[in-house]
Amino acid sequence: MDSLPSGSSGKISDIPPDTGVLRFGIHTSKIGDFDPDYAKGSEDYTFADMVFNSLLRYVPGDLSRLEPDIATAIPEFEIRNGRQIWTIQLRKGILFHDGPYTRAHELTAEDVVYSLEKAADSKRSSNFGVYGGMKFKIIDTHILEITVEKPMSPLFFLPRIANREGGFILSKQAIEKAGYDNFKQHPVGTGPFKFSSYEAGEKLVLTANENYFCGKPRLKGVEVHFIPDNKKREADYKAGLVDVIYGVGDPGWIEKMEKEPGTIIDVFGPGYTGLLHFNTSIKPMDDIRVRQAISLALDRELILAASSKRLVTQVYAPMSG
């Protein structure tokens, strides 16, 4: 794993680099959905980031920067007949995991186009809205084009092909041979870890992908333990039953855990931006004076005080990316 989730703590130095299994305690009782196109909470993305890849990815530990993942480079666009065209070159030799219905096989532009078309389909994805006005075309085995009807800034386009909001690449062959329902029981990706087993309320087991295109993981595997109770998760960590836990945002918790011998607290962000939206089509929100009154009545500092000062900050922007 490249980094720990925001507010996590763990004795990662105690894990043998070549033989260990990382035991990770998280704050939910199950995975929401194994199809990354329906990922919602951090538990879903924790799974998806280890099992799947995207054309681009956020730099681990720094959500302000993107870097190539399956793509060989961050793409640039050209304008043809008033339309924005993004040409994307894929790495060669990336293998999907073997599974119960398919053997390991190479990722191609066909898989990428299939995945993006699925992500753009309202019947097969919860993130379809961000792909409106886009068309996807295979140019060669490892080259594809994305046409955007209404040109947009790279600032808004590039996150759509990264590891959030539907950017994960699935195996067309694995879904078609297994059937969608079976695929969700045993998902197949290209990431550093492969799906092994899952028991809701207990744990998810992943094993190292020895064919991972960025190099064989140093860990043999990862166990994601479902421990929704904050006190039990902390107690299990102190007892050595898990190696890393998802932290608690309460004021003082980080400072308390830093006193635990051998513990490392890893805080990075921004994890997400909290927004307040007004539905101006209904009363009384159609009255700007009401909206202004609500905005003025909200105390940002009071809201932030509910969490550790090391985890939150005020943001000033017209919209969230």
The pLDDT tens digits for 267-317 are 766 566 777 889 999 999 999 999 999 999 998 888 887 777 777 778 776
pLDDT at residue 123 above 50? yes
pLDDT at residue 6 above 50? no
- Residue 171 half-sphere exposure, CB side, CA atoms within 13 Å? 30
| Average pLDDT over every residue of 53-60 | 94
| Average pLDDT over every residue of 16-33 | 83
Of the candidates 214, 190, 212, 85, the residue with the CA atom closest to the CA atom of residue 143: 85
Kindly report, residue by residue over 57-95, the tens digit of the pLDDT.
999 877 789 999 999 999 999 999 889 999 999 999 999
Cβ proximity of 159 and 48 under 8 Å: no
pTM: 0.81
Kindly report, residue by residue over 188-198, the tens digit of the pLDDT.
999 999 999 99
Cβ proximity of 170 and 52 under 8 Å: yes
Report the distance separating Cα 57 and Cα 65, nearest Å: 9
